[in-house]
Amino acid sequence: MGCRKKASNLEQRTSPQGHGETEEAQSRDENHSSQGILVRGRRPDSTQRISPEEEALLNQSRGGATADEAGQNQEEARAEETGQNQEEARAEETGQNQEEARAEETGQNQEEARADEADEPRKARVKWPPSNAERQWEQLDDDPEGILEGTLAGGVERKLEAFVKIVTVYNVGLERFGEMEIGKGRPQCKQPNRREREKQKIRKDLKALRKRWRKASLEERDALSALQEELRARLRSLSKAERTRKKRRQKEKKRAEFVSNPFRFTKKLLGAKTSGRLTCSREDVESYLQKTHGDSERETPLQERPPEEFPDPRQPIRELDCSELKLAEVKEVIRKARAGSAPGPSGIPYRVYKKCPKLTRRLWSLLKVVWRKKKVPQEWKKAEGVFCPKQEKAVNIEQFRTISLLSVEAKIFFAIVAKRLLEYMMSNDYIDTSIQKGGVPGCSGCLEHTSILSQLIQEAKSGKKDLAVVWLDLENAYGSVPHKLIKVALEKYYVPAPVRHLIEQYMNGLKIRFTVNGHTTAWQSLQKGIITGCTISVILFVSAMNLVMKPALTQARGPKTESGIRQPPLKAFMDDITVTTESVISARHMLKSLSKAASWARMRFKAKKCRKLVLRKGKVCDRVQLEVQGERVPNIADQPIKSLGKKFDATLGDKNNVKDFKPLVREGLKAIENSDLPGRYKVWCYQYGLLPRTVWPMSMYNIPLTVVEEVERAVSRHLRKWLGVPPGLTSVGLYSKSAKLQLPLSSMEEEFKVTKARAQVMLQQSRDEKVSQAGIELRSGRKWTATEAVSNAASRLRHKDIVGIIAQGRRGLGAEREGSQTWGKAGPKERREMIQKEVRQREEELRRARAVGQGVQGAWTKWEGVRERRIAWKELFREPLKTTFLLKSVYDLLPTAVNLKRWGKRDEDRCVLCGKKGNLSHILSSCQVALSRGRYTWRHNQVLKVIVNALEEVRAENKGRPGKRIQPISFVKEGEKVKNIEKRHRDQPGIMTTANDWVIQADIGKQLELPKDIITTNLRPDIIMYSRRTKQLVLIELTVPWEDRVEEAQERKLQKYQELVTNCRERGWKTRNCPVEVGCRGFIAESM
């Protein structure tokens, strides 16, 4: 009966008005518009259209019947076709009794009946496949489709009920991939090993010998003492071996842990140490949850506020987007979500929808039903809670924070609603971004608020002005905000009633439970507060906080900067509120208004966590007292405060913060050093663990450049040690990105300058005029300033626009034009990136200039015609010794005779083989004795084998394929555009593709001779390739020279085979001479 009613409603909605439609059907059409809700001030269209899903549902409910054509209703047609009524068919299919079928008819479902069951077990975590297992994800995306097709058949209510549980996908995943084992490691062997047993035996023997020694005569004691000493030596040896074994096992364990997940290992190594286990009983936890989330005044409405305190906002200019949910919106939310997020009660993580597009589309169709019906499923209102310790050795429940895990499907749905609601609030100026910057996209709230506040304090200090600053902290702000306050906020800001009712329905039914020590608590109703993991909670909290802060804005004016911009008296980032006024009296008026508004909203300020700073003529005044909600606010001189990531204290500067920056880096380096990891892994921990942790303090605090340089010197010492290179290696070799050998490391000094420049540009480009026009200058000492660096970078970029795009290297004219960005046409984001790139380029120029001045370690700057070589992490991890040798050879740090004498290790600098000066160039490429002994020949043949193998692979790929003709370069005329440039370069054939009968011969193992039918000569190239069908001949001559002499070697080999090439061409062969140079340190020449 339920399906028939739904189908009948759909039929009525699809028929146009004026064709016998009843008033009741017309009213239903008005309530269910094509956009899903009735928007204020708009009337629905006269003709209602249905979605493809509803049309498929309608066709399915009709079952091919022709009841309308025959003049019979749908119920009679189906009864006539099937011989059974719908209730009997459903009872037979599902095995439900008549009462359950009747309950389904009235719109009740079993999930609502089971919502209050406390013993409902938590779902096991599925061991989903990794993201790169494409085959398994494709199968998972295809297999449940047929099952879901049958499961989701029926009315809208049944579709909604069936899908919100996601039992099909979850069960398929659990059955196919298994359950994830959490916290289950290898079973520990409690039985002592061989050494432990032998140590126990020795200790017993020593104890027996001591007793015997006391009873023995003087003649026997010497022998017993010798025997005791022998046993003690054996005991020490066993103990040392056991300690070594444990240390080795510990290293292996940490290494395996790092390899399995390096980011998690580094975070655990360098992050705040938290540990502990909650020892509370289940009853204590439930009592705590009842106290925290319970609200005895939940149903009591808030008192009416006088209109003069909070006047109604103006009518919205732009209505809330109430159209049907779009597939692009769902995909966008899924794309931005973290794949590693833990799943909620449904057991499905984001990763499933990221990798399964068919399931995503199925989810979209069901989310549209939820939006259209305005009924939130019960499963979406449940959250699984987890207690996480805040500190080390946490025991009490107050020392733990809670994390809530909601169903991913609910988070996706409400993320779309939250985005629409945020756009509605922003477009109608209901959120003042100069005051509230929390939850506002594209706004660096922490940076802007702290920079403005620091600027005001510094200007008041230097200008000897008066200033009052109060940092306020709401007690359990997220967990104590009343739902009535959220409801009033939505009404105040004219949110359409259907959306308000949807949100209220969701907030009224929220429930949470926790699992502690293997026991799961009962479902606790969330009577106040919001769940931090909920995607719509941010905009709801911001809307509610607006009501608290709005009345205080009329009580006083904010301070004025030296640039003449008056700042607002309030600055907020979510619940962190800062009051800034020019006098203490104004601050008291502000605090009085905020206290009254917070009391009205049933929220409280936590006075002991609040701080005040009062400046009288530029100096700190401690005698002034300020109160909030009847409690005194502590002075910042007594205890500093950390607000929005920055510490403020009575010094009015960052002197103490700079002092804390050095220990931060020093302790991080110490933790990495003591991590028992190989050196190459320690280098990775610095690059992706310690360095990112220093970016935030470098951007927030006024740290001088000299301090960063001092810290970088300590970092460089550790990096050299971990890489296995001498301490004298120049820092250019570690951080340069234009050197011939480049490591994947970043300079802390460079990151400091880029960070400061980025922050400076973000403040200048801020959409908040009160920030962009405030004239904020970030300080970084006298040696280098961010403002000057940004100005110089912008000037250089404007100069590049004037000069235009010039040719670089050998790529040809116009090669740099593709993908280039000009300063004049760039947007704010592009300009910010261009300035950062310019600052990096300037830093690289300074490193290059420093390298040119280094005679020994800067010799690579003279290498012409040699390609750059970048060491990737993969190569560094697999071949660390090779990388170490390469670094030493490029920067001339190998223990040659010349270096040993320079370092004071030897008296002579002569080669031990030939007696000449034994520098690196002589040893690697110029020693005649080494040449006569075949050392250079062996190295030459090893390189030759690699080239031959590569040619053989290409020949095998082209065997049997028709030959291609090499296309000449087609120049582009002025004004024309290049078409399909990527495809043209990709499909450009090489010499090997012009024939399929290539014969490759190499001068390895036996003497190479050119075929007699081609030419007779005494010259022996290293490799010859010829094709008799196309009469092509290729001569390849390999040279392994010193990198400084690469171009010289190429010219010499070209001249050597010039006559041979001419003679072959005269005989009708298309001959090419290809000299190839590979440096003796492995650097490839441009000729390859």
Q: Token match 């009329």: residue?
A: 554
Rounded-to-integer distance, Cα 791 and Cα 794, Å: 5
Q: Residue 1015: left (phi > 0), alpha (psi -120 to 50), or beta?
A: beta
How many angstroms separate the CA atoms of 54 and 31, rounded? 17
Phi, psi of 951 (to 5 degrees): -65, -40
**How far, CA to CA in Å, does 378 sit from each of 108, 119, 349, 505, 905?**
11, 17, 19, 10, 79
Q: Which residue has the tokens 């301090």?
A: 707
Helix 748-764 with 705-723: angle, nearest 10 deg: 140
How far, in Å, CA of 863 to CA of 1048, rounded? 12
| CB of 822 closer than 8 Å to CB of 799 | no
Q: Which residue has the tokens 């040798």?
A: 885
Describe the crossing of helices 262-270 and 655-673 by its angle, rounded to 10 degrees: 130
At CB < 8 A and 24+ separation, what contacts does 277-285 make?
277/394, 277/395, 277/517, 278/387, 278/394, 278/395, 278/397, 278/400, 278/516, 278/517, 279/395, 279/517, 280/396, 280/397, 280/516, 282/516, 282/519, 282/521, 284/397, 285/397, 285/514, 285/516, 285/521
Query: CA end-to-end span of the chain, whole Å?
Result: 78
Under 8 Å between Cβ of 234 and 202: yes
pLDDT of 103 reads: 40
Residue in 1083, 996, 1075 with CA at minimum distance from that of residue 1036: 1075
Cα(1061)–Cα(747) distance, rounded to whole angstroms? 50
CA 167 to chain centre: 30
Per the CB < 8 A criterion, the answer to whether 156 and 57 are in contact is yes
Tell which residue, 829, 702, 826, 824, has the closest CA to residue 761: 829
Domain positions in the chain are 2-113, 134-177, 196-270, 432-482+530-652, 655-870, 938-967+978-1077
**Cα separation of 759 and 751, whole Å?**
12
Q: What would the 3-class secondary structure string for 654-690 be?
A: CHHHHHHHHHHHHHHHHHHHCCCCCHHHHHHHHHHHH
Rg for the chain, CA atoms, rounded:
38
What whole-number distance in Å separates Cα of residue 204 and Cα of residue 500? Answer: 79
Residues constituting the chain: 1088
CA distance 938 to 620: 77
Whether residue 789 contacts residue 843, with contact meaning beta carbons closer than 8 Å, is answered with: no
Helices (H), 95-217: 98-105, 110-113, 134-151, 156-164, 167-177, 194-215
| pTM score of the predicted model | 0.82
The per-residue pLDDT for 968 is 59
Is the Cβ–Cβ distance between 278 and 517 less than 8 Å? yes
Q: What is the 3-state secondary structure (H, E, C) of 591-612?
A: HHHHHHHHHHCCCCECHHHCEE
Residue 620: name the closest of 456, 457, 473 by CA: 457
Identify the residue whose tokens are 């309950």: 103
Residues 150, 154, 157, 158: is their CA dihedral positive or negative? negative
Instruction: Say how far apart CA 216 and CA 569 lie, in whole Å.
Output: 92
Q: Would you state the torsion angle of the CA atoms of residues 164, 166, 167, 170, taken in this order, to the nearest 10 degrees?
A: -150
How many Cβ atoms from other residues are within 10 Å of residue 717's Cβ? 12
Contact indicator for 1041, 925 with CB cutoff of 8 Å: yes
Q: What is the pLDDT of residue 8?
A: 42
What's the CATH code, domain 432-482+530-652? 3.30.70
Q: State both tokens at 912.
A: 């031990």
Residues of the chain with pLDDT under 70: 1-120, 145-167, 182-189, 807-819, 960-989
Q: Which of 339, 1048, 1076, 267 is nearest to 671 (CA)?
A: 267
Phi, psi torsion values for 515, nearest 5 degrees: -115, 120
Asked if 213 and 228 touch (Cβ cutoff 8 Å), the reply is yes
Q: How buried is residue 934: exposed, middle or buried, by Cβ count under 10 Å (0-12/13-18/19+)?
A: exposed
